[in-house]
Structure 1
């Protein structure tokens, strides 16, 4: 097997309990759960050999199997999606070339993000994992800044070196810049997309490392790789006119539903 996609999903959430089962209405008014829409996004990606939902909750497992997904149970001690992906890989007993973590709160992830990410990791043998970044336009940056002013955690931003190796990820908007950009103008801020492609040995090693201070402060799982000296490749992806947003708070539901309607996605 070459590429395995794991969709980690848990029921408890400080900000939004039961989030994977929240229903989102698309252009036709049909309601589909967040986990179903994330699974649809994974299944649409080229070059993917297998897709599984990894959860510790029977409600999510039953729901996923009900719409035809394969589900694997993991422990309730996983602290984040990367740890859950590592457990899922062990439970499945397989050895793929690449494991992709498509987080269950990202139903708007375009299929080409997955294929671009896999291609980027294959071309960078020194990287332990790869993750996509999307350059913000003025409208997206304004949304990020408004969320922070309102005390909400919106998207994550990333900064990286000239070789596209990550320097840092933050829930704050970095680097500092003026917010006086036209809505469609490019900005120097990059939105980190909640998607990862790991080499299996790096994924297994991740679970053996203690949680570091930066991961604790930011609540960002990928910082554990940086804190342990592993290279994280940032792969710039193109939105191709598609809007992208993760479901982090209840306030994000109407925003995502509006994006689904605009895209004509059922």
Structure 2
């Protein structure tokens, strides 16, 4: 079963314009752009046949080609990363049987998250889409709550059935809990990791589906699948002690650089 990873990247982010080209310093002295660090993460996943950067911006295309990435230029009319992945599938997807959307703002995505995600989709023939979820410890949950109280979106949370079928995704912290958790406590909140694995039929159908009210309110592309009755499998992944964060706001840059230092220290 051939697997293609697509990294959607656009320059005109509403919250953080130009963020794919933001530089992130690592302890090894490298000062790479966000898109290159996301590419590095994709190339570290085993069992992948192809990695493609999908963009509509020549600045991102030039940067990606400079570090050796394959690039597919996509329409500026794509509303989100899933539509951009669907266009890549249509243009150059070939015989890909699983298409992974590894969003370009998540360079800390561990390789085993994506490997577990692909395995989960393969093991559930009824699932049309799969996405990873990570149980929050107290430190992660408190970070989400602090961001929301400051008017920032710190991440997306997910709720799902006993059979791991997605019920809802939100930029609010759900489910609600009034309990105060210590940093190392296990919590009932799951962080939705912004990665998706699609079967080609589901991905191809996506641009033809209308955006529903929930997608419009939350600004979350995966809700379009749910609103049209498609099954999304939530695959619980193990963080193995690694902190995970997407780059959503300028304030996230020092957080991610600190996490890069923590990762380097843990691997010594």
Please say whether Structure 1 and Structure 2 have the same fold, judged by a TM-score greater than 0.5: yes
Give the whole-Å Cα distance in 1 for the aligned partners of 2:80 and 2:171: 16
Give the whole-Å Cα distance in 1 for the aligned partners of 2:147 and 2:63: 32
Confirm whether residue 219 of structure 1 aligns to residue 219 of structure 2.
yes
- Decide whether the 8 Å contact of 1:142 with 1:179 is kept in 2: no
- Decide whether the 8 Å contact of 1:138 with 1:179 is kept in 2: no
Confirm whether residue 207 of structure 1 aligns to residue 207 of structure 2.
yes
In the alignment, what sits opposite 1:114?
Answer: 114
Confirm whether residue 34 of structure 1 aligns to residue 71 of structure 2.
no
In the alignment, what sits opposite 2:181?
Answer: 181
Give the whole-Å Cα distance in 2 for the aligned partners of 1:255 and 1:209: 36
- What is the DSSP-based 3-state SS (H/G/I as helix, E as strand, rest coil) of the residue aligned with 1:60? helix
So what's the TM-score if we normalise by structure 1? 0.98
Give the whole-Å Cα distance in 2 for the aligned partners of 1:107 and 1:27: 15
In the alignment, what sits opposite 1:197?
Answer: 197
Cα deviation code 1:24-66 (max 9, x no counterpart): 0011232100000000000000110100000000110110010
In the alignment, what sits opposite 1:165?
Answer: 165
- What is the DSSP-based 3-state SS (H/G/I as helix, E as strand, rest coil) of the residue aligned with 1:95? coil
- Structure 2: unaligned runs, 5 residues or longer: none
Cα deviation code 1:212-237 (max 9, x no counterpart): 10000000000000000000000000
In the alignment, what sits opposite 1:251?
Answer: 251
- Structure 1: unaligned runs, 5 residues or longer: none
Confirm whether residue 63 of structure 1 aligns to residue 74 of structure 2.
no
Q: Which runs of 4+ in 1 moved over 2 A?
A: none
- What is the DSSP-based 3-state SS (H/G/I as helix, E as strand, rest coil) of the residue aligned with 1:262? helix
- The total of aligned residue pairs comes to 266
CA RMSD of aligned residues (A): 1.1
Report the more deviating stretch, 146-155 or 172-181. Answer: 172-181
- Pairs within 5 Å for 1:124-139: 124-139=124-139
